[in-house]
Every structure is written in structure tokens, then in C-alpha cells.
Amino acid sequence: MISKYFNPYTDFGFKKLFGEEGSKDLLIDFLNQLLPPHHQIKALSFKNPENLAETIDERKAIFDIYCESPTGEKFIVEMQKAKMHFFKDRSLFYSTSPIRQQAQKGVWNFELLPVYFIAILDFKYDEKEEERKFRRDVCLKDQDGDVFYDKLHFKFLQMPLFNKQEHELETHFDKWVYFLKHLEDFDHIPAILNEPIFQKGFEIAEMSHLDSDQYDAYLKSRISYNEEKAVLDTAFDDGKKEGIEEGKIEGKIEAILETAKAMLIKGFDVDTIAEIIKWQPAEIKALK
């Protein structure tokens, strides 16, 4: 069964919600829940994301955002839907890009704009269960725990660790996380999210509002997401692959199967579907 709303963790869904000019108000509202009072966003602009990554796949999921506070202070937010392999290394690597790009030709005093690196993780990285945290705010501190450098901050959200139910949502930030985590599962707008900002989010995410090209792009993005989740579940600290429970694999395969069926119904030819989901044409024909 195809969901009413798209999956926001796919590259397509993530960009549609947060990476387009028409959805800037959603992005500002969401980021302001994570940023400190002195760096609330009044206005923002996107820098060309192609400078941030070497591959097309990476470019889809990373935004370099130039922001201005109500008092006129400039700062940079780099936001991404984090990949699973070596995500800490990736985070550090990509956070250096908006730093390096501030370099000026000629005489320069090396003064930098503040940089916030924000990563949405739709997985749990491999740490001891008792040490896991839904939200982790990180900055450079010395041996006494005092902040050493206040212009580079990392904010990680481990979405699977957010377990609040609708009646437990207390803050606007809670509502945002609940919206993102459960968007694909909703069949209507919950009363607690019946606010203008979320109403717009639901409208953008509604599958029936996508044109045929967007729908096709989403299906491809959804299949890529399913494959990544099924095959590349990783033990992050040591970089070794982690086994996946058989039931989880079957669930991911079922999702790919449903997508393949939907593509058949939409009129995709067998060879195209086989190429996208990396199955044999004979297996696709069997679905008919």
C-alpha cells in the first residue's frame, strides 16, 4: 500500500521539505528549535550544494545555508540527512567545507563566521545502549569541560530514540520531531499538528500533489533508501558491518516489492523497474 505522505528521510522527501525556496519557512521554523537564542534565523539563503560533495548522491542530502539573525549577525548552518557509514567522520569532513570556503584572497585576519552542523539520523549508531541519546549537542571543550571554541557546533538527532506519543508532546520541537518521524505513517493530520506550519508540511508531502516526474523521482529515491537501510546497517564506531535481523530484512524487501508493484501500475516497463531496484526482469514479470 502506498502511503498518503512521502518518506522525509529519502533524499527526495528531505529536499522537498527543507531544500527548496518554497519551503524556506518550514526550514527556518525547524532550525530555530535547534539554534540558541542569539542565532535565531530571520532570513536565509542556500549556497550551491554541489560544492559540498563529490557524488550526486551526497549532493541531494546536504544543504549549505547562509543565515542572518534579527540583529544582523551572520552565521552558517550545514544540514544533512546523515549517511550511515562513518557518519562521525563524514560530519567532521563536511563541517570543514563551510569553514574553508570563508577563506579570502590577499590579507585576511582569519575571522570566521559561526558554523552549526545539524544531522538528522534515521538510525541508531553503535554505542552502549545506556549511553544513547536522542539529541546530542557537541562543541569543542577543554579538559575541564569549558568551551574552548564557540564557533563550531554539531547537533545530532537520533530519530529512532524519540519515543514520545502524541499526548506526550510538550514543545514545538517535540512536534517537529514527531512530524518527521511519523509523516509516512499518517493518513490524516493529527489534531496536535493542526497548525499552519505543519499544515504546509503535510501539503508539500502529500503524494497526490506530486506530478508524474516528481512521483517517479520519489519512487527511485524510496527504493534507494530501502536498499541502503536493508543492506548498509553499520556498526559506526568501528566501521564494521552489523548483522540485520531476518525480520527486518523481510520488511525492507516487502517495501521494495510494494514500490515495484506501484511502478507497474503507473506503467513503467519491466526493464526500467529491474534496473532501478536491481532485480532480474523475470522477477518483475512474475509480479504481473
Question: How many CA within 13 A on the CB side of residue 26?
Answer: 26
Tell me which residue range forms the domain holding 182: 11-209
The closest alpha carbon to 67, from 58, 83, 52, 79, belongs to 79
Asked, for residue 69, whether it belongs to a domain, the answer is: yes
194: its cell numbers = 493542526
Do residues 149 and 277 share a domain? no
Of residues 207, 208, 154, 209, the one with CA closest to residue 184: 207
Please tell me whether residues 239 and 132 are part of one structural domain.
no
**Same domain as 57, residue 199:** yes
Report if residue 37 sits inside a domain: yes
Lookup: cell for 279: 532485480
Q: Are residues 158 and 245 in the same domain?
A: no
Q: What is the pLDDT of residues 79-126, one digit of tens each?
A: 888 766 778 888 888 888 888 888 888 888 999 999 999 999 888 876
Do 254 and 140 fall within a single domain?
no
Greater confidence (251 vs 94) lies with 94
pLDDT in tens, 16-27: 999 899 999 999
User: Who's near 73: CB < 8 A, 6+ residues apart?
Assistant: 38, 39
Strands 147-158, 62-68: pairing kind: unpaired
Per-residue confidence band for 274, with pLDDT thresholds at 50, 70 and 90: confident
Q: Does residue 1 form part of some domain?
A: no
Total domain count, the chain: 2
Of the candidates 177, 209, 241, which is a domain's last residue? 209
Overall pTM > 0.85: no
Same domain, 204 and 216: no
Contact in structure between 217 and 14 (CB atoms under 8 Å) = no
Q: Do both 232 and 187 map to the same domain?
A: no
Of 187, 209, 231, the last residue of a domain is 209
Tell me: do 216 and 106 sit in the same domain: no
Confidence tier at 61 by pLDDT (50, 70, 90): low
On whether both 269 and 155 belong to a single domain, the answer is: no
Query: Do 233 and 200 fall within a single domain?
Result: no
Which of 159, 178, 209 is the last residue in one of the domains?
A: 209
Residues 17 and 157 reside in one and the same domain? yes
Three cell numbers, residue 245: 535481523
Query: 169 and 278: one domain?
Result: no
**Whose grid coordinates read 567545507?**
97
